[in-house]
Amino acid sequence: MNLLPDKHLSIGTSLLGVGATILRKLNRPSSVTGLWDRCRQSEETANFGRFIQGLDLLFALGAVEIQNEVLVKIR
């Protein structure tokens, strides 16, 4: 999966777009399982591998972290 969109890859299917979709769904602290349940209906994150890659990107960017055993969005 490409990190950035290009002329052959839309923003939604790039890794950056997948991360954005995950952040939109993480509107309250959540377990990974709970977040996956909310994300699996989205076309961008419809498979678990893409979901995990997007979540890894968000951790690397410091956009999410685990606090008290749940995922939280860092503002």
Q: Domain residue spans in the chain?
A: 11-73
Predicted local confidence at residue 11, as pLDDT = 64
Cα separation, 71 vs 33, whole angstroms? 10
Matching residue, tokens 């995950």: 22
Predicted local confidence at residue 19, as pLDDT = 93
Please name every residue paired with 6 in a beta bridge, in sequence order, or none if there are none: 9
Cα separation, 15 vs 17, whole angstroms? 5
Predicted local confidence at residue 46, as pLDDT = 78
Matching residue, tokens 């709970």: 34
For residue 44, the one-letter residue type is: E
Q: What is the pTM of this model?
A: 0.84
| pLDDT tens digits in sequence order for the chain, 75 residues long | 565 556 665 666 778 889 999 999 999 999 999 999 999 988 888 789 999 999 999 999 999 999 999 999 997
